[in-house]
A and B are shown apart, each in its own frame.
Chain A
Amino acid sequence: MKIEETIEQSIHEFNKSQNKYKIINNENFELIGQNSLLDSLAIVSFFSVLEDKILSNHGIKRDLMKEVFIQQDEMIDLKKITLILKNN
């Protein structure tokens, strides 16, 4: 399974799990950044869903909180998440 499909599944599951926030499956969607609409709890929840999906779909245990924040990027969108997951 491609990583993009796993991300799509995770977005779907995250959106279904609550009503407050909606992540749009677009590579420019900002998870962290000036235009992000998410709060810390939403980001943490999404990463948690994504980690679970990566484990079940690809058999790899990831620590996204570490991998994302080690980058120290001002903006993290879905494109960057995809790159992080593909490169590591």
Chain B
Amino acid sequence: MEIRKLNLKDYEQIKNLSKKNGLPFLKENDWKNIWEKNPFILEQQKDWIIGWKLLDQNDQIVGAIHNIPFIFYFDNNKFLAAICGNWVVDNRYKSFSLGLRSKFLNQDNIQLYITNTANEISEKVMEAFKAKKILQYEYINRKIFLLNKKKTIINYIKKISLNKNLILDIKSLIDIMFNRKNLNITKKFSIANDFNLDFDLLNSDLRKKKTLYSIKNKKWLDWKYSRVINTDRLWVIKNYNGNKLVGFLAFVINNEQNYKLKKSTITEFSFLDENNFENFEMVKKCILISKEFNCDVVDVIGFNKFKKNIFKEIGFTDKKMSNFSFLVKNLSPEIEDVLFNSQNNLDMSLTDGDAIFSL
């Protein structure tokens, strides 16, 4: 058995291995674009290792892990993060899976190691390698807004209860059935299916904030959303004050296989001024567009307490996730407190890890 660097030419074998082990896998171009179009690799580190593969005696790939560079900012300082994904090992070779995870978690010059799609096993393995769950207000609670209440409730009840607690279930259902919110908006937003250069300026302003966030300039957003950009699956609601972009909300429309629902997932929600009532209206606009596209549900994972309260006020309800999927191994003391000791400020979401590639 041997662990070697993964190569873009390994696509077919990795795809087959992943599918054999029940993992969804990207189309070839989408998979290659994760690294071929990544701004950090293109501009700074062309020899970035895209992942590792486990080879058996016949040189066949029997395990793999992806390694994706992300840039984060906090207080105008830049941090290089490695995001892991697609950790898969054939059952026969399962004891070797930790070797792959160890390769990922022991690279040079990486400040943050992140996964935000951890299942119960990878959660425990990451913790064994000294990664920790982020401390973020109610990260475990997904927020949902039902557009097709009847269909969604029937499908949820068929599958599993909303919470694993009967009283909370009943409360959630009552909230959902009788919580009618006013979705009127006064602001005329600019709506697009892509990102323009105004995001570069917005990102420069966001950088100065004491919030840890993954970079939001045009080239990084273009890369992150390359699978859905300029399609009616990606919607970007832009809030301008005059000619200046002061906030935006992005969401991705997708089909939820588990519950057979058409879902819109809010992946980005950033703004410069917390007190601007238009932040509420961006969420309402997202609901209205989702309704136009016959989505059954709008959902959100993550975001800080302030944003979560916006969703709550608009009528989103909680759905507890089965496990805590966001873990970080941090080697930068200056962001240790932000990640693990200040639950009301941390603002992580799907866009800050590999979850963004599985929408």
- Residues on A lying within 8 angstroms of B by beta carbon are 30-34, 36-41, 43-45, 47-48, 63, 65-66, 69-70, 72, 74
Contact = CB atoms under 8 A, between A and B. Distances in A.
Contacts, number: 53
B124 interface: yes
B124 A41 contact: yes
Contacts of B102: 65, 69
Interface string B240-270: 0000000000000000000000000000000
A44 B95 contact: no
Interface residues of B, number: 19
Interface of B: 1-3, 93-99, 101-102, 106, 121, 124-125, 128-130
B1 A38 contact: no
Contacts of B95: 30-33, 36-40, 43
Nearest to B94: A39
- Can you list the 8 inter-chain pairs with the closest CB atoms, starting with the nearest? A36-B95, A69-B102, A44-B128, A39-B94, A32-B95, A40-B97, A40-B98, A65-B128
A65 B129 contact: yes
Nearest to A45: B124
A67 to B, nearest CB: 11
Given A32-B96, A69-B99, A63 B1 contact: no
Q: Pick the most buried of A39, A40, A47: most chain B CB atoms within 10 A of its CB.
A: A40
A48 B94 contact: no
A48 B128 contact: yes
A40 B125 contact: yes
Contacts of B101: 40
A82 to B, nearest CB: 18
B96 A41 contact: no
A45 B125 CA distance: 9
A47 B96 CA distance: 15
Given A36-B95, A65-B128, 6 more contacts: A32-B95, A33-B95, A38-B94, A45-B124, A65-B129, A69-B106
B99 A32 contact: yes
B99 to A, nearest CB: 6
